[in-house]
Structure 1
Amino acid sequence: MAEDWRGDLEVWLAPFLAALRHKTRMRLCPAYIAGLIGPGDRKSVQPMAARGGEFGYDQLHHFISDGVWESAPLETVLFKEADRLVGHEAGFLVIDDTALPKKGSHSVGVAAQYASSLGKTSNCQSLVSVTLASREVPVMVSLRLFLPESWTGDVERMERARVPQERQIALTKPEIAIEEIDRVIASGARFGCVLADAGYGSSGPFRQALSERGLLWAVGMSRRQNVYRADIGLIFPKAATGRRRKYHVPDDVAVSAEWMLADAKWQKISWRRGTKGKLTCLFAACRVRVADGHRHRMSDGRVQAMPGEQEVWLVGERRTSGEQKYYLSNLPADATLKTLAAAIKARWICEQAHQQLKEELGLDHFEGRSWTGLHRHCLMAMIAFAFLQSRRLKAAGRKKKNRSAAAATDHACDQASHPRPLHTATTRQMPSL
């Protein structure tokens, strides 16, 4: 018999509703989230209102787009619930972005831009996502819209889309990600390592910002990124004529990540078991210093980036398809190759979350044009996703408990049908003299 998920939802949403502090909004919020979870192919306001019947289109639309209420208290509760569900010192905080395809040009943030989920440039909105995960269970805690230059350079356009004044600034996706990471840290949510793809990992300031916060990280990077060997030396070569050199220079040249690992020892590593057996790839790793320090002109006219201060892991991955990927990580110098591979490959979990949010909860179905409406819709979708994850974890716990109980019963029955002899001092055979 199916459980009454609507009743469970009302109970689970109690701390969120308390944060709203308004009777009507405390009824509209569960209705909106139930509309996202419930049946129906389209999860925009109008069809949800028609299916639900309790509230009309105008009421739901006003709640999500125009109502005077703050999202921050609900976001705080979401952080706490996510930490309760999957927060762990050995868990991950996954940074990525996801695209919401759109037609037209009036919806906030819409522009022709590269969509990684589509693998091409498309007319879409691009959201920076932050996912807390452990034990291969993701809970998304933040979705923040990226505004391309065509928007940040047009104040009137941002005003029409009701972009808040403090958000009307040009920020890169890595800069947005750092702001969101700071919010997660401030909430007290637990995680052990930050993961990100090359769109973020290729940014030196992003990696540096993570290290400055004392965070462990494993991020993607371009195969063309220049690196130095870890023991690179810095020297002051003597000039035969002219002034003495002001800056030191490396005693060896930087090479691409691909070149650095070309002759490395590649090992077959399995990082977890999938539905069809163990997942394996070839991996190689070495310690390097990234060429992302200050730049200056060399004696031969070349402009060269100096080695960064931090020594990190350079990791290469060769997939069975022939594709090669490269990563950087500041995990400890004694980390095993399997540990590095497991951390790197844990990032896939956010893609699963993106897919479920879109296919099951209508993340990309919002039809409003405003900044506030879009972010509130995203927040409702994330709360709905967290609720579903709580039910899945609860069901998995019951199954595990039932399996343990069944195993204990089987063991007891086996013991009853095949009793072992008692070994006591009085029945033990005396050793012969």
Structure 2
Amino acid sequence: MDESWKSDLERWLAPFLAALGHKVRARMCPAYVAGLIGAGERKSIQPMAARDGDVGYDQLHHFIASGTWDAAPLEKALLTEADRMVGGAEAWLIVDDTALPKKGERSVGVAPQYASALGKNANCQTLVSLTLACGEVPVMVGLRLFLPESWTSDPGRLSRAGVPEDHGVYRTKPEIALAEIDRVRAAGARFGCVLADAGYGLSSSFRQGLSERGLVWAVGIPFKQKVYPVDVAMIFPVAGRGRPRKRHVPDTASVSAQAMLEEAPWRMLSWRRGTKGRLKARFAARRVRVADGPPQRIGAMGAQHLPGEEVWLIGEHRSNGDRKYYLSNLPADTSLTRLAGAIKARWICEQAHQQLKEELGLDHFEGRSWKGLHRHALMTMIAYAFLQSHRLNKAKREKKNPRSATAADPASDPGSHHNHARTAASDACPYCRCWLIPKNLPK
């Protein structure tokens, strides 16, 4: 393998090494990131050190697991680089979580919980993730561990794993996500809309937290999420008997998202080209008021949530029969095509999760501590950003020199089937074995 890429990496890492501010750490960081990018199936510390030869296991282990350095400056440097690559008004900030299957019970945060990658409950760690993306180019900018109550209720367990005091209090995944969004914004990263799946969208406090921050968002919701018609009015009913009513109530009952769109007009729309052709589904949308206001007893209906924010309710009927529902506070004049494009843009973070695990060893860390896990995750994100930066620069050079493509390569023929698949799905990496990184770049 050509080792020249390591010098490219060290040049690119200059802002990160300056943030570390220490000669030895500035040597360990490139060695660790290079170990994640380079050849080898296993990306835990021991095999990476064995493959490197110049850096010992003890040195790498100390750097990740116990060294006294602050990750915040490196996290900020990562956000600066991500913003330079893909940030802007057309960028998405995608909130999701990813599970790392784990045996035993001593690794920080490990517990039986739902693992999205496996589609079932499993013994695992769960990381809340933030991805900055534009077009089909994602850059992972945040991975923060979720601690189940079985951990936060056990001070001894927290202490043994080295969990900082300010993270030892139970926080839901939406609460962690909002804190991470605040960190991203404070670092100056630019994005136009926050996206999240129903695991976050079902949280009214999460949606309201986004709106209170002045952010535009589009999130998944359960089909049973209650909504009101957009023209719902608050009336002051006259009591037939008993004491007079003291509070206004809605003039109509709330209904489920599914029921609200049952009679809506549906349109077939395509949002992007996949490896097997255009991706299509049927969509419908209506303006509604979300039933997430203060709860109030309304006659025989019992306690009901009052109308909240006016938003879009969007439905999607997939070709396999699945039906999905979403809410968004995009402007009232937003087209259905734009709404569909927004809710379907979230898929790119799932690809990023897969690549961080399969190619960069996100789930290969064998330590048990809070500090070690988060530092390992940070190094995988830095490695991922470097590879994305390389591809963007390569694509720009090819755009300036379109004749540089090898004529003998069938992928250089814009009319070939191979090229269409490659453009839609992947670009080969000169550094490691495969890597499926989209070539569709933001304009």
TM-score normalized by the length of structure 2: 0.90
Distance of 1:150 and 1:88 partners within structure 2: 40
Offset at 1:275?
A: 2.4
> Which residue does the alignment assign to 1:111?
111
For residues 383-425 of structure 1, the C-alpha deviation after alignment (integer angstroms, 9 at most, x for no partner) is 000000001111111222222899xxxxxxxxxxxxxxxxxxx
| 2:150 is the alignment partner of 1:150 | yes
Distance of 2:334 and 2:251 partners within structure 1: 28
Whichever residue aligns with residue 298 of structure 1, its letter is I
> Which residue does the alignment assign to 1:431?
none
Give the gaps of 5 or more residues in structure 1. Answer: 407-433
Distance of 2:403 and 2:305 partners within structure 1: 58
Does the 8 Å contact 2:281/2:316 carry over to 1? yes
Q: What is the SS of the residue equivalent to 1:357?
A: helix
> Which residue does the alignment assign to 1:357?
356
Distance of 2:336 and 2:118 partners within structure 1: 31
For residues 68-94 of structure 1, the C-alpha deviation after alignment (integer angstroms, 9 at most, x for no partner) is 100011111001000001111111000
Whichever residue aligns with residue 374 of structure 2, its letter is H
RMSD: 1.3
| 2:278 is the alignment partner of 1:267 | no
Distance of 1:405 and 1:243 partners within structure 2: 83
Does the 8 Å contact 2:271/2:341 carry over to 1? yes
Distance of 2:158 and 2:106 partners within structure 1: 10
> Which residue does the alignment assign to 1:70?
70
Whichever residue aligns with residue 338 of structure 2, its letter is T
Distance of 1:143 and 1:121 partners within structure 2: 21
Corresponding residue pairs, total? 405
> Which residue does the alignment assign to 2:23?
23
Percentage identity across paired residues of the two chains: 67
Whichever residue aligns with residue 84 of structure 1, its letter is R
Whichever residue aligns with residue 176 of structure 1, its letter is I
Distance of 1:305 and 1:93 partners within structure 2: 29
**Pair member with larger Rg:** 1
Distance of 1:181 and 1:149 partners within structure 2: 23
Whichever residue aligns with residue 103 of structure 2, its letter is K
Q: What is the SS of the residue equivalent to 2:69?
A: coil
> Which residue does the alignment assign to 1:135?
135
> Which residue does the alignment assign to 1:419?
none
Distance 1:330 1:364, change over 3 A: same
Q: What is the SS of the residue equivalent to 1:252?
A: coil
| 2:377 is the alignment partner of 1:378 | yes
| 2:376 is the alignment partner of 1:387 | no
> Which residue does the alignment assign to 2:240?
240
Q: What is the SS of the residue equivalent to 2:377?
A: helix
After the TM superposition, which of the residue ranges 122-131 and 390-399 deviates more from structure 2?
Answer: 390-399
> Which residue does the alignment assign to 1:168?
168
The 5-angstrom pairing of residues 226-375 of structure 1 reads: 226-300=226-300, 302-308=302-308, 310-375=309-374
Distance 1:3 1:88, change over 3 A: farther
> Which residue does the alignment assign to 1:421?
none
Distance of 1:212 and 1:293 partners within structure 2: 14
For residues 30-87 of structure 1, the C-alpha deviation after alignment (integer angstroms, 9 at most, x for no partner) is 0000000000000000110111111111111111000010001111100100000111
Offset at 1:4?
A: 2.2
For residues 344-392 of structure 1, the C-alpha deviation after alignment (integer angstroms, 9 at most, x for no partner) is 0000010011001001100000000000000000000000000000011
Q: What is the SS of the residue equivalent to 1:125?
A: strand
Offset at 1:148?
A: 0.3
Offset at 1:302?
A: 1.9
Distance 1:301 1:317, change over 3 A: closer
Whichever residue aligns with residue 42 of structure 1, its letter is R
Distance of 1:256 and 1:6 partners within structure 2: 55
Whichever residue aligns with residue 14 of structure 1, its letter is A
Distance of 1:108 and 1:16 partners within structure 2: 26
The 5-angstrom pairing of residues 76-115 of structure 1 reads: 76-115=76-115
Q: What is the SS of the residue equivalent to 1:123?
A: strand
| 2:61 is the alignment partner of 1:55 | no
Offset at 1:3?
A: 7.8
Q: What is the SS of the residue equivalent to 2:325?
A: strand
Distance of 2:401 and 2:267 partners within structure 1: 40
Does the 8 Å contact 2:398/2:404 carry over to 1? no
Distance of 1:93 and 1:115 partners within structure 2: 22
Distance of 2:3 and 2:42 partners within structure 1: 24
Does the 8 Å contact 2:152/2:169 carry over to 1? yes
Q: What is the SS of the residue equivalent to 2:253?
A: coil
| 2:219 is the alignment partner of 1:219 | yes
Distance of 2:189 and 2:300 partners within structure 1: 51
Offset at 1:276?
A: 2.4
Distance of 2:52 and 2:337 partners within structure 1: 49
For residues 98-120 of structure 1, the C-alpha deviation after alignment (integer angstroms, 9 at most, x for no partner) is 00000000000000001112111
> Which residue does the alignment assign to 2:40?
40
Distance of 1:164 and 1:299 partners within structure 2: 48
Distance of 2:284 and 2:143 partners within structure 1: 34
Q: What is the SS of the residue equivalent to 1:325?
A: strand
Distance of 2:342 and 2:336 partners within structure 1: 10
Whichever residue aligns with residue 205 of structure 1, its letter is S
> Which residue does the alignment assign to 1:411?
none
For residues 251-310 of structure 1, the C-alpha deviation after alignment (integer angstroms, 9 at most, x for no partner) is 1111100111011111001112222222111000000011111112222152211111x2
Give the gaps of 5 or more residues in structure 2. Answer: 406-443
> Which residue does the alignment assign to 1:423?
none
Distance of 1:284 and 1:298 partners within structure 2: 30
Whichever residue aligns with residue 362 of structure 1, its letter is G
For residues 301-351 of structure 1, the C-alpha deviation after alignment (integer angstroms, 9 at most, x for no partner) is 52211111x210000000000000000000000000000000100000100
Q: What is the SS of the residue equivalent to 2:264?
A: coil
